């Protein structure tokens, strides 16, 4: 029994040393996602224009308050109005939300709280999407939500638990309690 005591003590010391070294490594070299981001700037009554790689106006954002964060975390907006355009400067979408977040690479915009998006607002039959959270991925060409939304136009109204609209292929997928009502064609 006395012969096992030093082995047990050495095993315990080894385990504690490993844990301390691992914890020290994480403390000295945290990953960017572990780092606390902090607000580094705030601006009021801001209008922004975001251009695509091939230099066309992709979308505009107007906001009462804009907050930038450290570590290229992104930008937070309050009381947002946005417009999205195609390569020919035609208005594709118009929308507003109580708040929004734009990733540091300017590719993902998430609108939250009282979101209203209108597709083809200048057409004879615009489509309106309302919900609490709707995201736009400029790089992938997707608009979607993992929360319930209502989609409507002049002849139809659909409630869905989640949706994903592929802008490039002009296809949409619905899931989670899809309920649709259509008016008869006349």
Length of the chain: 186
3-class DSSP state of 14: helix
2.60.450.10, 2.60.40.3500, 2.60.40.10, 3.40.50.300: CATH of 39-182: 2.60.450.10
Domain borders along the chain are 1-30, 39-182
Terminal-residue alpha carbon distance, the chain: 94
pTM as predicted: 0.71
pLDDT in tens, 156-185: 898 999 988 888 888 888 888 888 887 776
Strand pairing of 127-137 and 142-145?
Answer: antiparallel
Task: Tell me which of 39 and 77 has the higher pLDDT.
Answer: 77
- Tell me the pLDDT band of 150, cut-offs 50, 70 and 90: very high
The residues with which 149 forms a beta bridge, in sequence order, are 131, 160
- Return the pLDDT at 117: 92
Q: Is 98:74 a contact under the CB 8 Å cutoff?
A: no
Mean pLDDT throughout 31-45?
70
């Amino acid at each position: 029994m006395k012969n096992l005591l030093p082995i047990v003590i050495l095993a315990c010391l080894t385990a504690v040393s490993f844990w301390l070294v691992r914890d020290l490594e994480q403390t000295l070299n945290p990953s960017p996602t572990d780092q606390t981001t902090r607000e580094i700037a705030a601006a009021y009554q801001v209008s922004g224009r975001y251009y695509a790689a091939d230099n066309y106006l992709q979308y505009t954002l107007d906001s009462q308050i804009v907050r930038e964060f450290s570590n290229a975390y992104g930008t937070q907006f309050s009381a947002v109005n946005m417009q999205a355009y195609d390569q020919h400067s035609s208005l594709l979408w118009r929308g507003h939300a109580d708040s929004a977040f734009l990733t540091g690479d300017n590719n993902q915009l998430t609108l939250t709280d009282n979101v209203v998006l209108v597709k083809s607002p200048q057409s004879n039959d615009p489509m309106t999407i309302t919900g609490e959270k709707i995201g736009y991925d400029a790089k992938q060409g997707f608009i979607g939500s993992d929360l319930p939304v209502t989609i409507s136009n002049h002849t139809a109204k659909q409630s869905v638990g989640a949706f994903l609209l592929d802008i490039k292929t002009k296809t949409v997928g619905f899931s989670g309690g899809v309920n649709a009502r259509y008016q008869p064609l006349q």
